[in-house]
Amino acid sequence: MELLMAIVAGLIFTAAIYLILSRSLIKVILGTGLLSHGAHLFILTMGGLGGSSPPVLADGATNFADPLPQALILTAIVISFGVTAFILVLAYRTYAVHKTDDLNSMKGNDEHD
């Protein structure tokens, strides 16, 4: 199972990086969205996927899934949501001010060194 999940995480990363490397601002944001999904799956996989019951105390349950990666991912999800919301608005403002979403035209010029 971990082998499969590692490959899925790797593929999601590949797609994310490919998007981030493109010249369109909106694609970069989509890429970061994918990147966070990949990272969350990555953390979960490395912790091991062997548990047979959720990490909640219940009668008879002994083989819990590892709770620590879950707690870490929960924090990560919330933070990546905050950041995504922020850069989405940032992209919106950038587009509104500069009238372009081409990253190649968003670079400093020599006068502002």
Partner 1 sequence: MEFVWLIFLPALAALFIPTLFRRVAGIHTGWFVLIIPVVLFVYYSTYVPLTASGEHAVSSFDWIPSLGISFVSYLDGLSLLFTLLITGIGALVVLYSIFYLDRHKEKLGNFYVYLLLFMTAMLGVVQSDNIISLYLFWELTSISSFLLIGYWYTRDGSRFGALKSMMITVGGGLMMLGGFVILGILGDTYSIRELISGLSDYSGDPLFTLAAVLLLFGAFTKSAQFPFYIWLPDAMEAPTPVSAYLHSATMVKAGLYLVARFTPIFAGSSVWIWLVSGIGLLTLMWGSFFAVKQTDLKGILAFSTVSQLGLIMSLLGAGAIAYHSDDTLFRLAMFAAIFHLVNHAVFKGSLFMIAGIVDHETGTRDIRKLGGLMSVMPISFTVAFIGGLSMAGIPPFGGFLSKELFLESMVALKHFELFNFDTWGILFPVIAWIASVFTFVYSFYFVFKTFTGEKKFDKLPLKPHEAPIGMLISPIILAVSVIALFFIPNVVGKWLVAPAVMAAQPQLYSMPSEAAVPVHAWHGITSVPMWLTVGVIVIGTLLFTSIKKWQPVYGLQPEKLSLNALYDGVMTFSEKGMNKLSRFYMNGLIRTYLLYMFSFFSVMTIVVLFAKGAFELDMNSLSPITLFAVLNSIVAILGTGMVIMSKNRISAIIALGAVGYSVALFFVLFKAPDLALTQLVIETISVALFLLAFRHLPALKTHGETKKNKVVNGIIAGGVGLSVTLVALSAHSNKLVASISQFYKDTVHTEAGGGNIVNVILVDYRGFDTLFEIAVLSIAGIAVLGMIRLRLSRKESDDEKE
Closer to partner 1 by Cβ: residue 60 or 90: 90
State yes or no: residue 52 binds partner 1 (CB under 8 A): yes
For residue 22, the minimal CB distance to partner 1 (Å) is 7
Under rule CB under 8 A, residue 60 binds partner 1: no
CB of 36 to partner 1, least distance (A): 9
CB of 44 to partner 1, least distance (A): 6
Shortest separation between residue 88's beta carbon and partner 1, angstroms: 6
32 binds partner 1 (CB under 8 A): no
Identify whether the C-beta of residue 30 lies closer than 8 Å to the C-beta of residue 17. no
Binding to partner 1, residues 83-112 (CB under 8 A): 83-86, 88-93, 95-96, 100-104, 106-108
Tally Cβ neighbours within 10 Å of residue 74: 11
Sign of CA dihedral 83, 85, 88, 90: negative
Q: Give CA–CA dist 64/47, Å, rounded.
A: 12
Taking the alpha carbons of 45, 50, 53, 58 in that order, is the dihedral positive or negative? negative
- Which residues lie closer than 8 Å to 80 by C-beta, 6 or more apart? 36
